[in-house]
Structure 1
């Protein structure tokens, strides 16, 4: 990735109200990490990898992590500080050029409208409550939505990482498409009639609201519990096992004090556990949407091995086949999570190891660091509709088994 592209990321993050904290996080261009093992070494300092192209990796890191990277022999060039507000800033709206994105309140309004417009298809509930008390809204879509039918279930989760606002739009688009298209699209009707579909548009609403506080972006990743926990390093399977997360509270990949110490991951995991009926997990397939890099990823993330305890060669092959089928429809790159770098405590590893749910991560648009986490709202429609076929493939996989 060219340095100019990474500089654009910094300009997107900063330059508005609120100065960066002294000694706080910065964006760095790191050179010399060309392999998954080397990128894992970079990540093990606690740096948050944003993008990787060839031997160049872009990260957000604090000064101590940057010093570790230099000591390991990597080239480290600062591209600018990340703008983070001091104290608590008020939530306003997205900046100009981004107002097509939905705030938390606007997301709730959209979900409520869906239920009002399609009461026979949609039912709104909650998986639990965030650290700051926001509902982790959960919408169910099915032809007999008020009944818990004996049908395969599908789960879509979005916005685990606060700054990844395009993912909330992805979940809202899934909801809108499956409800508004039901009466006129036979393919949609078949999918909805044959399954129970669950959508959580924001797993991390507190962090998402903080990220746009004051009407500007802050590149905030974690939840808002104390120093913030990276919710996608806080899941219970292989939590903190393998150098794929950080124990430092200042790190962007801080895994929390214990598995499920974040109220958000604890609530969502408990809800998934509750879908075990008669000893059988009803949820069969799952996508957790993230940005960015245009990837389709599957377990395991904690090990480079394709197979490991709890993953047979046949199961690994099925993950690959399904992942490649979905990627063929949206132009993303399909690969095992650890082909990028090792992560532990991730949602996909937990979903599969605990419940044998065919769980994938989609890293959405863009492919590189420009425009990074903050594409203009003109990209919402093309980038969400881009995944329509992949979503249908995943739902169909739950039906066919």
Structure 2
């Protein structure tokens, strides 16, 4: 396209009643500045996000963050953060830099200086919007592509719907036989979710020109175009983009959101906080404040733009998506809402390939920008799997912090060049991932396991590889079936991971799946210890006990994070009064955010107060964590000291009254306190045990744990008795000066009546209740004054009480509590 041909279209836009974007309001006069903010604590980035500040773009270094903020946003920081103003008026800075750059660099030659250089397409041009293509010029580019290559690209088509200001979103499809919707893997590319990020659209236009111009001569490009369908939406936010052109026609506009009239003098919703998966999960990853640049909107998918993208995705079968943004030099993976990566092995492998030519930092928002994002396009595209298939969506953040949102026009080709390999490979992954095996399942035995899976599209045979957790080398087997037996495994309770790769038609092999963790089968849990999923775990959760070695293999899913303290597999017993639990974590599957250790919690219910001492895989390093929730349902505080060694590692949590302390040790002999002792108001009776989580409901973690020991009054079964026999409380010790009941229940198992025989050292007021296994009260008896010696009580089980395991709890003077298990037939 020549710019001269674009001018009539540009004039039509300028004369249209639209300059709808000229809507005025308090936001119109905002001045943006670039700041260097001092980060004095590890939680500082999240604190910035909780103020509603857009910290998803910028440069983060040791102890600082460089970002771009409006005057109103800067006022929110005053008195809370120390900062230095690097550039006072960014719009003027960008405009001046663009003007000078255009004078000095009128052409596009000689600008590709990245490790992988691609020839600049002959038909690629800069535009009249400060060197960038305006909205009308973007559409004219799509029209010209169709005119030049009618067999490879469709006429641009509008998505169903219009924006608040009456504009349409347009898409095109590139493929051989482009006008025919063929049964081929599909990839989606989007740009300009945020209106001040023009590089996100320029990159796509560059890529489209390249594959069209090189289709006839480049076998790799030809292979992609012949075997995939590539869909492009260069501008998701036309209202916001046009608003920036109306206020800053020479480039440099800082408007980010769309142009919804919020009805209170503020405008705009952040489209990348408006998608429906985990929308509004917390106020760190998005803001409920309408004036904030990260305002998430009044409800999920409240905006026409996100509705159109949603409906388009529901109408297609996209396998991959690149949702382009700027800036930061990042490749951002899901999840944004929580500090975990689904299918982490697979996503990290893809990310490490995509950054081969640009060296972008790969990771989820926590690992890249250092804070959460909720309601994002990537999380919804991957996470919503009921109405559509999962889409492996990734966000490139194009450009450095020094170039910012509006790089000098002479940098445009360099940045486009740097994204070419990423764009091409994501098209390849649309084919590879559509062939990848799914629904992998394992049925373990004592020394073997059967692995099965669902075939990917075009699969012909499979490689299956497995290893013990922590082992460096894989064992790989091949098969033409969709199941295989793994023989000669260690056992019992040996922890393994397994992956499956499809070998597919056309020479494109599927990716190895993310690891599925499992353990060879073992013995029942000892005594009256039991296993339970607490909170959201994605359905993951199991344990295996090796009575010969006294070791456990525990698999768990869920977050167990500062904002979601629940979400874990818990192997537990009951602790009355003060006590402790110590364990050795021998190994832990090494995916980021996997964690294992010991915990004391007030109940088995969600949102319970708790304290944990954990070993955590934090990105590429290992750390100890002291995690404590001091109020029911609140966020947790986390102390995370410097890097520890990899497992095996020892952990301990102690309770002394309402004081909780975490310890760590590399040898089980020399112990180091983790953080400070914390006060948590818990009832006299609590739950103590082992905790394992993966940081996500989309994946699991497996830990091998041994050398488990407890102190204090931990409930145990009568030695040697089978599970379900009469249970009693052993080893009771507690608060001095209070009566200490000892109880027996019979018959046990029983049906409707529970007889209690209670031994008291001195007179006391008894409080007795029947609990379910989540700690919920099934039946509460009236308080009873009892003399020293023997006392008797009768519990009538409620009519219709389901068969199962229950707990009888008896406390004396509100302090000491004895708990025994009762089995209802």
> Could you state the TM-score of these two structures normalised by the residue count of structure 2?
0.41
Partners of 1:352 and 1:358 within 8 A in 2: yes
Distance 1:110 1:67 in 2: 42
1:111 and 2:142 correspond: yes
**For the structure 1 residues 62 and 292, does the alpha-carbon distance in structure 2 shift closer, same or farther, using more than 3 Å as the test?**
closer
Partners of 2:38 and 2:83 within 8 A in 1: no
1:292-319 CA deviation, whole Å, 9 max, x = no partner?
A: 111111000101134xxxx3xxx11101
Q: What is the match of residue 671 of structure 2? A: none
2:391 pairs with one of 357, 363, 379: 357
Shift of 1:142: 0.8
Q: What is the match of residue 240 of structure 1? A: 280
Partners of 1:230 and 1:255 within 8 A in 2: yes
1:76 and 2:83 correspond: yes
Partners of 1:172 and 1:201 within 8 A in 2: yes
1:161-204 CA deviation, whole Å, 9 max, x = no partner?
A: 10111111111112111211111111101000000100011101
**For the structure 1 residues 344 and 207, does the alpha-carbon distance in structure 2 shift closer, same or farther, using more than 3 Å as the test?**
same
1:333 pairs with one of 361, 364, 373: 361
1:332-362 CA deviation, whole Å, 9 max, x = no partner?
A: 1111123221010001100100141110000
1:386 and 2:394 correspond: no
Q: Secondary structure at the match of 2:287?
A: coil
| Higher mean C-alpha deviation, range 376-385 or range 208-217 | 208-217
1:185 and 2:218 correspond: yes
Shift of 1:27: 2.6
Q: Secondary structure at the match of 1:384?
A: helix
2:333 pairs with one of 268, 291, 298: 298
Distance 1:162 1:342 in 2: 21
Shift of 1:33: 2.2
Shift of 1:28: 5.6
Shift of 1:22: 9.6
Q: What is the match of residue 209 of structure 1? A: 242
Q: What is the match of residue 377 of structure 2? A: 347
**For the structure 1 residues 270 and 83, does the alpha-carbon distance in structure 2 shift closer, same or farther, using more than 3 Å as the test?**
same
Query: Looking at both structures, which has the greater relative contact order when contacts are Cα pairs under 8 Å and sequence separation is at least 6?
Result: 1
Distance 2:28 2:143 in 1: 42
Shift of 1:156: 0.4
Q: Secondary structure at the match of 1:109?
A: helix
Distance 1:186 1:294 in 2: 29
1:250 and 2:287 correspond: no
Give the root-mean-square deviation of aligned CA atoms: 2.5
Q: What is the match of residue 58 of structure 1? A: 66
**For the structure 1 residues 174 and 34, does the alpha-carbon distance in structure 2 shift closer, same or farther, using more than 3 Å as the test?**
farther
1:134-170 CA deviation, whole Å, 9 max, x = no partner?
A: 2211010011212211110000001111011111111
Within a 5 Å distance, the mapping from 1:1-400 to structure 2 comes to 24=30, 26-27=32-33, 29=35, 31-33=37-39, 37-49=43-55, 50-54=57-61, 55-61=63-69, 65-72=73-80, 74-78=81-85, 80=88, 97=102, 99=128, 100-123=131-154, 124-128=156-160, 129-213=162-246, 214-216=248-250, 217-226=252-261, 227-243=267-283, 244-275=285-316, 282-306=317-341, 311=342, 315-339=343-367, 340=369, 341-354=371-384, 355-365=389-399, 367-368=400-401, 370-400=402-432
1:76-124 CA deviation, whole Å, 9 max, x = no partner?
A: 345535669xxxxxxxxx9673733211111111100111111111112
| Higher mean C-alpha deviation, range 387-396 or range 198-207 | 387-396
Shift of 1:36: 6.6
Distance 1:130 1:141 in 2: 25
Partners of 2:33 and 2:71 within 8 A in 1: no
Q: What is the match of residue 6 of structure 1? A: none
> Could you state the TM-score of these two structures normalised by the residue count of structure 1?
0.83
| Higher mean C-alpha deviation, range 156-165 or range 131-140 | 131-140
**For the structure 1 residues 211 and 63, does the alpha-carbon distance in structure 2 shift closer, same or farther, using more than 3 Å as the test?**
closer
**For the structure 1 residues 132 and 245, does the alpha-carbon distance in structure 2 shift closer, same or farther, using more than 3 Å as the test?**
same
Distance 2:71 2:259 in 1: 22
Q: Secondary structure at the match of 1:329?
A: coil
Partners of 2:190 and 2:234 within 8 A in 1: yes
Partners of 1:24 and 1:82 within 8 A in 2: no
Distance 1:373 1:257 in 2: 27
Distance 1:21 1:252 in 2: 11
Q: Secondary structure at the match of 1:361?
A: strand
Q: Secondary structure at the match of 1:48?
A: coil
Structure in which a larger fraction of residues adopt helix = 1
Shift of 1:229: 0.7
Distance 1:21 1:198 in 2: 34
1:342-386 CA deviation, whole Å, 9 max, x = no partner?
A: 010001100100141110000111x22x22111122222221122
Shift of 1:232: 0.5
Partners of 1:23 and 1:63 within 8 A in 2: no
Distance 2:167 2:99 in 1: 22
Distance 1:167 1:59 in 2: 18
**For the structure 1 residues 43 and 199, does the alpha-carbon distance in structure 2 shift closer, same or farther, using more than 3 Å as the test?**
same
Q: Secondary structure at the match of 2:159?
A: strand
Distance 1:317 1:35 in 2: 30
Q: Secondary structure at the match of 2:331?
A: strand
Partners of 2:184 and 2:229 within 8 A in 1: yes
Partners of 1:121 and 1:142 within 8 A in 2: yes
Q: Secondary structure at the match of 2:336?
A: coil
